[in-house]
Structure 1
Amino acid sequence: MPTTFNIPCVILCGGRSSRMGEDKSLLPFDHSNSLTQYQYDRLKPYFKELYISSKINKFDFLEDESSLILDEGEVFSPLVALDTIIKKFENQKIFIITVDTPLVSIDTINKIINSSNDYDITVAQTERIHNLCGVFSSSIRNSITKMLSDDIHKVGYLLKQNNTNVINLPENGEFINLNDKDEYNKALEIISLSNN
């Protein structure tokens, strides 16, 4: 049996995908019909609760809509998504990961979660900080509310305003972000090699 984490996991799928030119959350990946389904199926055995954050329900594989957290408001911002998520999970911690980082290993997720006990936010860092791969506590809700009222949407600013733990991890390619077609094709190549 795989390790099951006691905190909920939310996959962020509400971005504009402007550099990709189409909705990357719906692109096919490995043997899955979409990147979202790939992330969902891969993470489901490890989390008691797994959710998808999005602007709209665009996912044909979800049998139960209770797994969906729809962003409040029209603004495309990860901070708006975090605000909506934090309101759902009062007095607990949540593991957040973006749909476009499908190669982040369960071992890395385990390290991040295990390092999060005494912090409001715990995120990974390789050559740069990965602001949206980590554990976020509902205690940061007031910070997010204040930032949104001040029209500040940078997650890096949120990290600076709270008790944040940044974990240094080796640069081994697992944090590749599928922002454009080249990165998407590279990730497909990596996953294909790992399956052989």
Structure 2
Amino acid sequence: MLDNCVILAGGKSSRMGKDKTLMSFHNEPSLTHYIHKKLSKIFQNVYISSKFNKFNPPLNVINDEISDIFSPMIALASILPKFNAPVFITTADMPFIKISSILELAKYKDEYDVVIASDDEFRHTLCGFYSPTLANKAKFLAQNNQHKIGTLIQNANIKIVNFDDKKQFFNINTPHEYESALDENF
């Protein structure tokens, strides 16, 4: 079993028009609960990164230290100092990530500062393992209003693992994408 995972669920959900992390999904109270349950099968500890604990039933939340800015960099700056080993980072709106893909990424987590997933189209910087050695840099970038994850990892020792199945990295951002993801034939 792997150690720690944090699911990012503190975004604005502006394209959805409401907080997508709280929308019900496949017999679970929320999209966040769905992915939490899925990842709890392979991680000893599954945390949620958010501005506050908005989940019912409650989940184990790591609060963003800067609450008025919505940014994955803020989340990483809040998360990474809390760990002393690589932590798997993913998002609440990526429910189809395969367990086998996470286990493949995990093979490299102790050799690199960052191990992220990729497909033939995109690098998925919010689907991978991050070393706590990046905590100070993440905090510096967040405090200096630099929010691109690419800036955090540009000089890091990084491993990019390519996967053929890009459907597993599908992000739910709009009402149409949510409806598509609910389809059993997705």
Selected match of 1:50 from 46, 49, 71: 46
Please tell me the residue identity of whatever aligns with 1:34: S
Q: 2: CA distance between counterparts of 1:137 and 1:79? A: 14
Q: 2: CA distance between counterparts of 1:85 and 1:25? A: 18
2:87 aligns with: 94
User: In the TM superposition, what whole-angstrom CA distance separates every residue of 1:143-183 from its partner, at most 9, and x where no partner exists?
Assistant: 21332233211011112131111111113411100011122
- 1:83–1:141 Cα contact (<8 Å) kept: yes
Please tell me the residue identity of whatever aligns with 1:129: R
- 1:20–1:179 Cα contact (<8 Å) kept: yes
Q: CA deviation at 1:46?
A: 1.2
Selected match of 2:118 from 116, 125, 137: 125
Query: TM-score, normalised on structure 1?
Result: 0.89
Q: 2: CA distance between counterparts of 1:33 and 1:145? A: 33
2:146 aligns with: 152
SS of residue matched to 1:72: coil
1:134 aligns with: 128
- 2:77–2:135 Cα contact (<8 Å) kept: yes
> Any unmatched runs of 5+ in structure 2?
none
Q: State whether structure 2 residue 179 is matched by structure 1 residue 193.
A: no
SS of residue matched to 1:8: strand
Selected match of 2:164 from 147, 155, 170: 170
User: In the TM superposition, what whole-angstrom CA distance separates every residue of 1:19-46 from its partner, at most 9, and x where no partner exists?
Assistant: 1111000111111111011111111121
- 2:74–2:139 Cα contact (<8 Å) kept: no
Please tell me the residue identity of whatever aligns with 1:76: F
Q: 1: CA distance between counterparts of 2:93 and 2:63? A: 18
Please tell me the residue identity of whatever aligns with 1:61: P
Q: State whether structure 2 residue 30 is matched by structure 1 residue 37.
A: no
SS of residue matched to 1:83: helix
| Pairing of 1:39-118 with structure 2 (within 5 A) | 39-62=35-58, 67-73=60-66, 74-89=68-83, 91-118=84-111
Q: CA RMSD in A?
A: 1.4
Q: How many residues matched?
A: 184
Q: 2: CA distance between counterparts of 1:120 and 1:158? A: 11
4+ residue segments displaced more than 4 Å? none
Please tell me the residue identity of whatever aligns with 1:10: V
> Any unmatched runs of 5+ in structure 1?
none
- 2:77–2:136 Cα contact (<8 Å) kept: no
Greater percentage in helix: 1
Query: TM-score, normalised on structure 2?
Result: 0.94
